[in-house]
Structure formats: structure tokens, C-alpha cells
Amino acid sequence: MKRFIELFILALLCFASLPASAENGYDLWLRYRPVEKKSLRNHYASRFSKVYVQDDLGATGDAIKDELDRALYSMIGKHPEYVAEKKDAKLIISSGDSGEGFSIKSKPGTQVTEIIGEGPVGALYATYALLHEMQMGKLLDNLDIERRPEISRRVLNHWDNLNGTIERGYAGYSLWNWERLPHDIDPRLIDYARANASIGINGAVVNNVNASARSLDRDWLVRLKGLADAWRPYGIKVYLTAKFSAPIEIGGLATADPKDPAVAEWWKKKADEIYTLIPDFGGFLVKANSEGQPGPQDYGRTHAEGANMLAEALEPHGGIVFWRAFVYRNDRNHDRIVSSYEEFHPLDGKFNDNVVLQVKNGPIDFQPREPFHPLFGGMDQTSVGMEFQITQENLGHAGHLVYLGKLFSEVLLSDTDGNGRSVADVLKSGKISAIAGVSNIGSEINWTGHPFGQANWYSFGRLSWNPEESPEDIAEEWIRLTLTDDDQSVKTIKDMMVMSREAVVNYEMPLGLNHIMNYATHNGPEPWHHDPVWSAYDYHKVSCDSIGVDRTLRGTRATAQYKQPICDKFDDLSLCPDEYLLWFHRLPWDYKMRSGRTLWHELVYKYNEGVNQVESMISDWDKVSAHIDKDRHKRVAALLRLQLEEAKWWRDGCLLFFDSYARKGIPTDYPQPQHSLDYYKSIPFPYDWDGYYK
Amino acid sequence: MKRFIELFILALLCFASLPASAENGYDLWLRYRPVEKKSLRNHYASRFSKVYVQDDLGATGDAIKDELDRALYSMIGKHPEYVAEKKDAKLIISSGDSGEGFSIKSKPGTQVTEIIGEGPVGALYATYALLHEMQMGKLLDNLDIERRPEISRRVLNHWDNLNGTIERGYAGYSLWNWERLPHDIDPRLIDYARANASIGINGAVVNNVNASARSLDRDWLVRLKGLADAWRPYGIKVYLTAKFSAPIEIGGLATADPKDPAVAEWWKKKADEIYTLIPDFGGFLVKANSEGQPGPQDYGRTHAEGANMLAEALEPHGGIVFWRAFVYRNDRNHDRIVSSYEEFHPLDGKFNDNVVLQVKNGPIDFQPREPFHPLFGGMDQTSVGMEFQITQENLGHAGHLVYLGKLFSEVLLSDTDGNGRSVADVLKSGKISAIAGVSNIGSEINWTGHPFGQANWYSFGRLSWNPEESPEDIAEEWIRLTLTDDDQSVKTIKDMMVMSREAVVNYEMPLGLNHIMNYATHNGPEPWHHDPVWSAYDYHKVSCDSIGVDRTLRGTRATAQYKQPICDKFDDLSLCPDEYLLWFHRLPWDYKMRSGRTLWHELVYKYNEGVNQVESMISDWDKVSAHIDKDRHKRVAALLRLQLEEAKWWRDGCLLFFDSYARKGIPTDYPQPQHSLDYYKSIPFPYDWDGYYK
């Protein structure tokens, strides 16, 4: 056996430079591939020969050791030896009482590396950071790393229904095995926690914002405790979406009026019950008076009054409320884009200290590109938190390669006031700083369906920790950890990823055209959708003369919600960037663009640019085939073909539709649609997350 | 020398870590663990040094090579070398045109092994059989294996809804990623096919028997083609459940009357459409006039008339119909147990040749133990197929360790006529021989939730291939492949598994008491359930004097549906085995049992025996901890504690309930219930596969 193991490991190391024949993606960016270079292997082996982990790190200390064991065995074929005395150790891991920051330092003149966490979870984060250096092939000499998260609540929002379906989820179904919880902890729940901890995510709202009140029933809370206990060592707190009408639905009260003392009392008791089971429960997320959900306005109360009642129930236990700002009137004559600001701006200063107003990145609803939401910078006395969507509801679901790091970063770095106060600065300035991402993960073996969806989870975590990080650098790291270490391939893939976000913007919403996707699935074009409740016409307002919505000071005044000079930048046609042109302005088809093309021609150009970009992704991906395992390479190649098909569906469907008004024709030097408009209108949208087809 | 020592230490660490390393169960029984013994490793290496795979095996040939690559690399660290000429090969793989049988022979006087498949899939099955020998540590000399399946259709039935939930599924959600099919083949879909092929399963009905007609829509059929294409190399055909009312629901017809020519024509066209996409489509499964599903009786037609219409549509393409016999009247005054035979026995000889009547193993509904269904042996001119349930709907869901190989085998070997014509013989005698298992797999990382659920999938496949195989032997092989090769541990675990089926019978349905589980979830006791539609009282008929249902010739005459002498065996109290006592007989509480105990005392004894058996499983599992990886060991241990809790819930809830009639008291030498009957009645049943809690 021994001799065989030698040979086996030698063989493994020899093969390390070649892509494995099959990888199903389950290991994410924590693949811990065998280290090829012998000198580096020896270096790591010597630095991990003796490890000291401070005794009192508890379950987090066990998680640290577990991760070191996995990683070292996989990378260099050795388990670390744990020693009882600091003085005997080459790697020293210790921490203070609490806090997520950490340092990793090489002790001068020795071969000793010292990790100090502010708290045990800081030490865990440091361990992942050290392993990250190794995965990137770095030497462990002269380490001098100090890190602390810029934002304190870095949370995944799971829109998981209690029956396991996931609203707007495209990568399988819920990972929470409610029936066997809290007894049975599926090992995948631990791998979920590991993946999150490795990128600094420290919270999870486990149920849908369109919530069932039953998730607050004791039957479910005892199950939730199973998740909380499993994730605690990894620094992940559980949160629940609280349905505002729960006091009626499961509490037997006649009202959910936040000013009714019995209602407030019910929530207090519910909070007490939760904290008895889960002492570090994070708090509640609430979608209230939004898309049919109940809320305080049902009783003539404000959002602040509703939020504060819940906040008071949680406050004694240290819990917080994420109150969503995603509201709009069901009124086609009112521009939806201005609703949220109109509703919440007057409430600035009225929220309790433990309330975070959770605001979507843009003022519509997770489109491929939106200007930042004007509530960022518009609520100076309120903790404003970010809600990104990682799941690609409007970006091709899990079928399209779209790297969202670019989208996240663009929003986070947006200047809110002309003085360089970025959205990220706004987030950081809150009493509670917070960032949430609507998860793209589910039960598929690779977690995200599209193999590149993993990069969106990864970049969300990294940017939550440090919003100023370069999304290009993050992409490169993700590629090296996840796909290949071949420099030329890394460059090619990084360029693809960086371009991918512009591609989806081009083929889905050129020049700021928005919300013209299929009504039910939000995938594929449906600018022709028109019914009394939900009409794409309200968003593009196409006519024979013009297209776009006038949201300037002469129109719906959406621009007025931004501080100067941002207001001017969007309002003034001569200043407004092309990418937001039809978002804020209504313009004639012959309007002359900066490019020299007419507006119509520019639309044709942009739609085609999107398709061309997907085509170039296909040929780029082809070039890297020698350096990617064949299963994942084949899979991404197939998905890119699907993406190309759908990009053309968007382009041709939209152009034919708009041209049925504009009557300009598609210039002959562009590809002509293969089918009639009626054909594109007839393409079915068979996918349905809501169980309509059950 | 230094290098040698380094490698030596490396190997030592590696060896030491082997039993402790974590396994999440994804690899099932195809783990291909490194071979420890050097001599054996060299033996395998030499036998696989040169492999010839016949050119024209097509995609199945690629699957064979892929499996050899995976297995050999994992077991001995080497990839086989494929050679172009038979004469250069140590392993020769070839096949005829079609057929599933195969031979594996050592060529005398050489080191050459020759595999000959009747068809390519036979060669694939042979490859798995050869790798099985290696996984069991066997030498490859003197091989002389010839195998051919005893039953031709060996099919998993997936009760998967189109929205991804699984009716009566307890291991996550559907594995079919409909939205991205047919473009995107999740690697898990291939692993699914590999697992099935390795145990001889050759078909999959991919949608719920409670079907949506939409699964027959072209939108879904083009997606189904993706599954068919992915699985074809592995010999797996796809089947669909066909909703009888589809011509109305998706066809726009006014009727689904099988005698209406337009209806028959619609089905013919639908079959043509399917076969254009999927030339080897297996056929339809139908649940008709059963539990609210539409069917031919809605139009005054018989089951045979309905089945034959579909059979005629499929016949030109070689497709078949599985017509389910699971029907009962919604009439509390009619003993449900006799319905199916009453309905179908008169139709014997009336079904077309390409119809299989798919009959559940017993006459009620997948209880932990049922006598065989009297339609086995009662339909001599009809192909009768078996429907087993692998998912543990009534056997503790995925929370209880229950080895179903024992259940399957008990039914298959049941004597139907006193002359030793077994149920298996009945299956084999059909024009089409068929066996179906309602799948227990889903999207959880280990496929089945409970790690031992894998053994039920495995044993179903093995017994479908050869119904006479010993379930004990199958259990032993599964343990060695999946858990451990330590002889003492194998023995301990095998004994646990063999006992586990008796345990669940004892704590859920001692002496043949049946169908007293919770109404909605079918987990946990609810003998007190009583409403006009569904009453547990109809099944136990408890009174102050007696318990059980008189189904003898003096009662509902269920016994009359069996051939002699089986009828007598069940009908005659002196002959009826204890395990079916209350299934067929109504008896007073003081009835004297063969054991000498009264009936009441025997019930108490049996319920307690079930609990004791779970306790002994807990202590047995504890004994094998050194030989099982710690993650799976810990998980099974936690699940056994859950099982013990629920076994006590069954025991105490049922005994208190029955004693509220019998008024005998639980003898003082047995454990007394910890709680009142009202407490047991109040335990919630929060799990719900149907999305009630969404």
C-alpha cells in the first residue's frame, strides 16, 4: 500500500499540469489542486509541518483544522501536524474574542507564519486567505496581510419557498432539507458554509421575500436552528423573511396593525422564541406593501412605523430588520421608476437604529444595466443597504455567460453627488452597513447551473468585503482557482467575462431600453406584451416617431431624484451617457447619436454588437479548450450556443417589432432576420419557476 | 534517499488518513477506491495494459472507455492504453448488434480477458460487471461469466412534477433541468445514467403518474429529447406518463373518449411526433381512473379499451403502454383491497400485446409489508408487470434506515399457486416482462438523502435483472462497494440491514395492521385520523372488543382473489401467518397467539420489538465507526437517533390509541409512554411535498 501511495501521489502530481478529464464543478473555487512545482510543494510542506491552533477557538477552530486538512492533503498530499505549544509551530493561528478582521504575517528571520484573527471567524477568514495565496502559487515568505471587511452585513438572500422551489432560481431547487432538519445535516450544507466563509459572506436569509408566514411557526423554527447550528462555526447567521401578516395568519390575531399593542406583543414574543432557539439569529427581512404583499400601509401606517415595530421586537436580542424599498404603485399612469424614492425619501430619519433600508441597485428591477438607485445618497439619516441580484432573472437565467462583477462594481463606484461620494461610501456610512445578493445557487451539482454563474457568487462575496476591489482582478483570481492556471487562457477568459456584461446589455437593452422581457419568465424578448396590468409599452413607449420615456424634469422627473450634478448629467441630453439615453429620454428615430448614426441605426448596431460579442465568446472559448477539463469545456460551449440563439432571438424579435413602428428597415449591411415578427412572437416561454405547469 | 523518506512519510500520512476522509456519497457504489494490495494492483495493471474496444460500438463504446478510464485511474493510478488490433490486447471488448446479455471469459493459457456483448449495451453491462469484480478485490483469472437479464423492462418511475417538486420524494428535487435542456447536459445526468447502467436499469419514466398533460407538448418533448440522447449510450430509454385527458387539455378536442376516432388519431399523431424526435422512445405510463385522474371510464369504456387505443398509437414504433392497476372506489363501504382485482381480472385477455398491466406489489398501497397482489397469478393472458416503491413513502421517508431488498425479494419469491410459481415467474412469463420502481432519488448530494437509501436503488436494479438473487448477498456487495471492506463491519452492517425491514414493520404495522399513517405526509402514526373521505378506522376497525378487518370468505372476500391453496393459507386462521393476521382477520383483544400471548399483549410486544431493533441498530452502527469515513458515520448515527424517536412515536401513539378502546393497559414490564395520547395526537406533521406551505 505504501509504495502504491507513493506512486499514486507521484502520478497525481505528474498529471497536475493537465486538466482533469472530468470536473462537475461541485468544488467551486476550493478545488485545492495538487501543486506541480516540487520546490513549492516542499516550501508548503515545511510551512505546514507544525500548526498551532489556539485551543479556545471552539467549533470555528475545528472548521479551520478541517479546511487545512482538506486543502493540504489535496495540494501536497500531507496533513498538517497540530502541536500544543506555540513555540513548536511553523504556523500559529490565534484570535481575540470577536471581530472579522485578521492579519497574516511572516515573522522576520524565521519560517514562522502567524495568523491573528480579531475573533475566531477572523482567524477562519485568514485561513482561507492563506490557502488562497497557496492556490495562487505564492510563496509564504514576507507575508504582511491585514484585512477587515468594509461592510458589516454581507448576506445572501435565498428566495426559497418552503416546498423547495426557488422563485427566480435557475440552478435547481432549495438546499435546505427541512424534513430531516435539525437532525440531519447534509454535508452540502457545510460545503455551502465553507464556500461562503471563503469569500466573507456572513449571513443568509433562507426563505423567499414573498414569504409564507409558516416559516415563523415553531415547527419550522426548530428546523431553522439546525441550519444556524451548522453554519455558526463558519460565521454565518441565519435570517428569516417575516411576512407582515403573520400575526393574523399564524398568530390568530384579527389585525397586523403595527400600532396595535397585541400585534407588537406578538412579534416580541415571536422574537423571544426565536432567540431562545437561536441566540445569534440575524433578524428579519421584509417585503411589505410591494407586489401584493401585506404591510403597514394596509392599516394606514408608514413603512417606518411597520419597520420600527419589528425592530423593537428584535432590538433587545441584537437583531436587525432589513426593510425592502422595492415598492411601486399599481398605476400605469405613474412612472414606476420614481415610486420608491417618493415613498421612502420623506421617511429619512424616521427609522430605528437597527433598521436597514434594503434598496435594489437600480430604480426599476434588476435590469442588465440601471443607473444607481437615487435612494443611495438620498437618505442621509438612514442606514441604506444594497440589494444586488446574483441570480440572472433578467440576464438569460442560468443559460447565459454574464459576469456580474462588472455590474456590481459599476454600481458600487457610481458617484452620488459629484464629489466622489460613491454608492459604496453611502453603504459604509450607515449605522449598520449592509449588502445583500439574491442568490443564484440551488441543488444542481455545480450549484449555479452555468459554470460561470459561480463567478457571480464569488465576486459578490469579494465585493461585499471590499467594494473598491477591481472586478477584473476578481475575475482573474476566480478563473485561476476554478478553471485553469494557464496564463494565456486566463487572459482570454478574463476578457470574455469582462465583455460578457456589455454583451447582454447590447442584445437585451441597448441604449437603456428596459423591462421589455417576457412577462412570465423574464427571459427572451416581449416588447409586444400588452395587457392592462403589465405592459412593455409603458417602458419603451414606442411610436412611429419616437422611442423611450421622458423621465427628465420636463417628463416624469426621475432625474430630479438625483443630487446635482448627477441630476444634470442624466437630465441634459448633451451630457447623458448613451447607455442611459432611452432610460431618461424620449427621442425621435432620426435623432443623431454621438457615433454619427441615427438612433434607429444605433439600435440596430447595438443589437448586432451584442450578438457579435457572443460569437466572439464562442471562438475565444474554443481557443482555451486544451487547458480546461473536457466536461466543463463542452458544457460551456453548448451553453454559449444557446446564448447565441437567444441573443439573436432578442435582436431579431426586438428590431422587427420596433421597425413595425419606425418603418426604417434594417440596413442591408446587417444580418436580416431569418423569420417574421409573428414567428418571434410565437416562440414559447416554457420555463416556469412558479409551478404553473405542475 | 531523502526523496524516498519524504515519499515514505507522505505515503504513511496518506494511508493513515484514508478511513477518516470525508465522503459525501455522490459516487454511490462506483467509488473505485485505490487498490491496496500491490500484487493485485500489478495484476490489474497488467490486465489493462492494452485494451481493444470494437470500433463500431458507437457512443456506447465511448461510455465504456470513459468508465474504464475513470475506474482504472482511480483504482490503480493508470489509464488503459487502447489498441487498434485485437491481437495486441489483454482485454478485448466486442459485441453483436443488439441485446443486453454478455459473457466475460478468460482465454485459457493466456492473460487475455474477452468481453462479448450481445449488443453494445451488453458490452457496457459486462464492463461494469468486470469492474465490479475488481472492486470486490477478485483476480481476473478463470473468469467464466455469462449473464442475461431475466426481465426485459427494468424501469425507474420518477414522480417528478414539471416544476421540479417530486411527489413522495424525500431526497431533494427533480434532476431534470428542463429550462436548459436539450442544450445543456448537466454532468449529473450522465452520472445518473452510469449508476443505472451499472445495475442494469434500462428505462426511466421521467414525469409523475399524476401528470401534467403539458409534458406531451412539443415544448417539453424537444427537451425530453435531450435526456434521451444523453442516456441512449447507457441503454436507458425514456418513457412519459401520458395524461388520459391530454387530447382535451393540450389537443383542443372536446373529448378524450378512446372510441372517438379523432381522439385515437390525436394520439397516433402525438406518437409519430415523439418518435420523430426520439426514435427509441419507450412508451407511456398511465394512471387512469385512479385517485381523481381521468380515464376511459369517464366515457363508459373499460381500462382495456383505453390502454389499447394508446397501444395502437405506439405499436408501429415499437413502443409499449404501462397501464397501472392501482384503482379503488371512493366508497368507504367497499373494501379498497379488493378493488383492483375486481376491476382488472375480468379484462384478462383483452389487452393488446404491447400493454403491460403495472401492478403494485401488494393490494393496498406500498405498506411496509403486504401480501403479494392477487393479480400476480390472476391474469394469465396478460403481461403483468411489477411496481415497487423505492422511495420510502410509508417507511419513514428518507429518515429511516430500511433495506428494501428484503421486501422486494419477499414479494418476488412469493408462491402464487402452491406449486412454486412465484411472482417472479409470473413477471417473466409475460409477453413483455417488466418491473418498475418508484424512484427514491433527487437532487441531494448523495442522491437518496439517507445514505442507506442508495442500497434500495441498488437492490432494485439487481433484483430486476435477476429476481432470484439473494437480498443478503446484494446487501453485502453494496456495503463493500459503498461503505467499507472490513469483514467484521460488513457482517455487522449486513445484519442491521436485514433486520431493518422487520424493524419498520414492527413499529409501524405489527401483525398486518396497515394504513394507519398520517393522512398527508404518510409519515408518523395517525390511527385516529377520521374524516368522511379518508379514515384510518376503515383499516383497523378498532373497537372495545376487537381489531382488524375480516377479509376472509366470511368477510370482504379478499382471500378469494388468491388461487388455492394460497386462499386457504390466508383465510384459515390456523394457517394464516402472524404477519398477515390483522390484514385478513378481525380478532378479539384476548385472542391467543401462537406465542402464548394475547393479541393485545402481542401488539405491545411487537411495537416494542421494533423500537428495540432500532436501538440495536444504533449500538451496532457505533461498533463500525473505525471503518467508515467520519462524515457518513456521523450522519447515519444522527438519522438513527431520529428513527428511534419516530419509532417510539409510532409505538406510544398507537398503543395509547388502541388502548383507549382495549382498556388493557401496557404491561408493566414494558416501557410506559412518556406522554398522553393527546400529546401524540398534537405532534405536527410539517413536511409537505405538495407545496401546501409554499
The pLDDT of residue B545: 98
CB contact under 8 A, A692 and B36: no
Q: Which residue of B has its CA nearest to A191?
A: B24
The pLDDT of residue B126: 98
Distance, in Å, from the CA atom of A632 to the CA atom of A619, rounded to the nearest integer, reads: 16
CB contact under 8 A, A684 and B219: yes
The sign of the CA dihedral B500, B506, B512, B518 is negative
Smallest CA-to-CA distance from A542 within A502, A514, A518, A563 is with A514
Q: Which residue of B has its CA nearest to A79?
A: B13
Q: Please, what is the average pLDDT of chain A? A: 94
CB contact under 8 A, B172 and A443: yes
pLDDT at B4 over 90: no
Distance, in Å, from the CA atom of B608 to the CA atom of B647, rounded to the nearest integer, reads: 9
Report, as residue numbers or ranges, the catalytic residues of B. 291, 365, 393
pLDDT in tens, A612-624: 999 999 999 999 9
CB contact under 8 A, A2 and B13: no
Instruction: Note the helical H segments in A77-163.
Output: 120-135
Q: Output the CA–CA distances (angstroms, integers) from residue B31 to A81, B72, B191, B195, B263, in the order listed.
A: 28, 11, 12, 11, 50
Distance, in Å, from the CA atom of B382 to the CA atom of B356, rounded to the nearest integer, reads: 7
CB contact under 8 A, B691 and A693: no
Residues of B with Cβ-Cβ distance to A640 under 8 angstroms: none
The pLDDT of residue B19: 37
Smallest CA-to-CA distance from A149 within A608, A462, A512 is with A462
The pLDDT of residue A97: 96
Residues of B with Cβ-Cβ distance to A6 under 8 angstroms: 7-8, 10-11
Mean pLDDT of A147-159: 98
Which of 669-688 (B) contact A at CB < 8 A?
Answer: 684, 686-688
CB contact under 8 A, B399 and A183: yes
Residue keyed to cell 384503482: B327
CB contact under 8 A, B187 and A214: no
B617: Cβ contacts below 8 Å, ≥ 6 apart: B401, B496, B499, B500, B503, B640, B643
Residue keyed to cell 409501524: B508
Smallest CA-to-CA distance from A633 within A452, A476, A447, A495 is with A452
Residue A6, chain B, CB below 8 Å: the answer is: yes
Mean pLDDT of B571-583: 98
Share of chain B above pLDDT 70, in %: 96
pLDDT at B689 over 90: no
Cα angle, residue A686 at apex, residues A684 and A687 outer, rounded to 5° = 140
Distance, in Å, from the CA atom of B262 to the CA atom of B253, rounded to the nearest integer, reads: 8
Least reliable range by pLDDT among A302-306, A591-595, A680-684, B151-155: A680-684
Given a contact cutoff of 8 angstroms between Cβ atoms, the answer to whether A17 and A36 are in contact is: yes
Mean pLDDT of A327-349: 93
CB contact under 8 A, A187 and B635: yes
CB contact under 8 A, A78 and B10: yes
Residues of B with Cβ-Cβ distance to A180 under 8 angstroms: 397-399, 449, 639, 642
Given a contact cutoff of 8 angstroms between Cβ atoms, the answer to whether A430 and A383 are in contact is: yes
Which of 35-54 (B) contact A at CB < 8 A?
Answer: 35-38, 41
Report, as residue numbers or ranges, the catalytic residues of A. 291, 365, 393
Q: Which residue of A has its CA nearest to B42?
A: A4
The pLDDT of residue A64: 98
Copy the grid coordinates of residue A693: 405547469
CB contact under 8 A, B11 and A3: yes
The pLDDT of residue B11: 44
Q: What are phi and psi of B38, to 5 degrees?
A: -65, -40
Instruction: Note the helical H segments in B466-565.
Output: 471-482, 487-508, 537-540
Element spanning B547, H or E: strand B546-547
pLDDT in tens, A23-82: 999 999 999 999 999 999 999 999 989 999 999 999 999 999 999 999 999 999 999 999
Distance, in Å, from the CA atom of A500 to the CA atom of A402, rounded to the nearest integer, reads: 5
Which of 383-402 (B) contact A at CB < 8 A?
Answer: 397-399
Distance, in Å, from the CA atom of B238 to the CA atom of B225, rounded to the nearest integer, reads: 9
Residue B630, chain A, CB below 8 Å: the answer is: no
Residue keyed to cell 454619427: A596
Angstroms from B229 CA to nearest CA on chain A? 14
Smallest CA-to-CA distance from A636 within B183, B191, B222 is with B183
Given a contact cutoff of 8 angstroms between Cβ atoms, the answer to whether A227 and A189 are in contact is: yes
Angstroms from A396 CA to nearest CA on chain B? 11
The pLDDT of residue A684: 79
pLDDT at B12 over 90: no
Residue A73, chain B, CB below 8 Å: the answer is: yes
Angstroms from B160 CA to nearest CA on chain A? 9
Element spanning B197, H or E: helix B187-198
Say which of B187, B641, B686 has its CB closest to residue A24. B187
Residues of A with Cβ-Cβ distance to B690 under 8 angstroms: 163
Distance, in Å, from the CA atom of B364 to the CA atom of B601, rounded to the nearest integer, reads: 26
**First CA to last CA distance, chain A:** 53
Q: Output the CA–CA distances (angstroms, integers) from residue A179 to A185, A224, B504, in the order listed.
A: 11, 11, 19
The pLDDT of residue A228: 98
Helix and strand numbers, DSSP H then E, in chain A? 21, 16
Q: What are phi and psi of A95, to 5 degrees?
A: -155, 165
What is the separation of C-alpha A106 from the centre of its chain, rounded to a whole number of angstroms?
34
What 3 state SS string does A65-83 have? Answer: HHHHHHHHHHHHCCCCEEC
Q: Which residue of A has its CA nearest to B644?
A: A183
Q: Which residue of A has its CA nearest to B687?
A: A179
Interface test with B, best of A26, A51, A184 (most B CBs within 10 A): A184
Residue A33, chain B, CB below 8 Å: the answer is: no
CB contact under 8 A, B11 and A6: yes
DSSP state of B152: S
Copy the grid coordinates of residue B610: 421494533
Residue keyed to cell 423547495: A164
Distance, in Å, from the CA atom of A319 to the CA atom of A489, rounded to the nearest integer, reads: 46
Copy the grid coordinates of residue A121: 471567524
The pLDDT of residue A329: 86
pLDDT in tens, A507-557: 999 999 999 999 889 999 999 999 887 899 999 999 999 999 999 999 999
Number of C-beta neighbours around residue B524 at 10 A: 19
Say which of A5, A219, A635 has its CB closest to residue B684. A219
Q: Please, what is the average pLDDT of chain B? A: 94
Distance, in Å, from the CA atom of B23 to the CA atom of B634, rounded to the nearest integer, reads: 11
Given a contact cutoff of 8 angstroms between Cβ atoms, the answer to whether A344 and A384 are in contact is: no
What 3 state SS string does B393-404 have? Answer: CCCCHHHCCCCC
Say which of A79, A174, A220 has its CB closest to residue B17. A79
Residue A11, chain B, CB below 8 Å: the answer is: yes
Residue keyed to cell 458554509: A193
Mean pLDDT of A642-668: 98
What is the separation of C-alpha B605 from the centre of its chain, rounded to a whole number of angstroms?
30
Question: What confidence tier does B21 reach under pLDDT thresholds 50, 70, 90?
Answer: low
The pLDDT of residue A37: 94
A108: Cβ contacts below 8 Å, ≥ 6 apart: none
CB contact under 8 A, B179 and A21: no
CB contact under 8 A, A163 and B694: yes
The pLDDT of residue A692: 47
Mean pLDDT of A582-607: 98
The pLDDT of residue B197: 98
Given a contact cutoff of 8 angstroms between Cβ atoms, the answer to whether B377 and B414 are in contact is: no
Q: Output the CA–CA distances (angstroms, integers) from residue A290 to A49, A294, A296, A303, B600, in the order listed.
A: 57, 8, 11, 11, 59
Given a contact cutoff of 8 angstroms between Cβ atoms, the answer to whether B581 and B588 are in contact is: no
Question: What confidence tier does A333 reach under pLDDT thresholds 50, 70, 90?
Answer: confident
pLDDT in tens, B489-512: 999 999 999 999 999 999 999 999
Given a contact cutoff of 8 angstroms between Cβ atoms, the answer to whether B298 and B333 are in contact is: no
Element spanning A620, H or E: helix A599-623
pLDDT in tens, B426-462: 999 999 999 999 999 999 999 999 999 999 999 999 9
Instruction: Label residue A447 left, alpha or beta by phi (over 0 means left) and psi (-120 to 50 means alpha).
Output: left
pTM assigned to the model = 0.95
Angstroms from A24 CA to nearest CA on chain B? 6
Q: Output the CA–CA distances (angstroms, integers) from residue A201 to A123, A189, A234, A463, in the order listed.
A: 15, 14, 9, 10
CB contact under 8 A, A24 and B444: no
Which of 208-267 (B) contact A at CB < 8 A?
Answer: 212, 214, 217, 219-220, 223
The pLDDT of residue B323: 98
Say which of A2, A7, A70 has its CB closest to residue B12. A2
Say which of A24, A163, A180 has its CB closest to residue B688. A163
Residues of B with Cβ-Cβ distance to A692 under 8 angstroms: 163
Say which of B24, B184, B689 has its CB closest to residue A188. B24
The pLDDT of residue A686: 62
CB contact under 8 A, B212 and A693: yes
pLDDT at A89 over 60: yes
Share of chain A above pLDDT 70, in %: 96
Mean pLDDT of B608-615: 98
The pLDDT of residue A323: 98
Angstroms from A5 CA to nearest CA on chain B? 5
pLDDT at B266 over 60: yes
The pLDDT of residue A1: 43
Question: What confidence tier does B3 reach under pLDDT thresholds 50, 70, 90?
Answer: very low
Cα angle, residue B44 at apex, residues B40 and B49 outer, rounded to 5° = 145
pLDDT at B216 over 50: yes
Q: Output the CA–CA distances (angstroms, integers) from residue A553 to A561, A577, A599, in the order listed.
A: 10, 17, 22
The pLDDT of residue A94: 98
ipTM: 0.94
Angstroms from B66 CA to nearest CA on chain A? 9
CB contact under 8 A, A694 and B11: no
Residue keyed to cell 468508465: B67
Residues of B with Cβ-Cβ distance to A631 under 8 angstroms: 187
**Burial code of A607-640, b = ≥16 C-beta within 10 A, e = fewer?**
bbbbbebbeebbebbeebeebbbebbbebbebbb
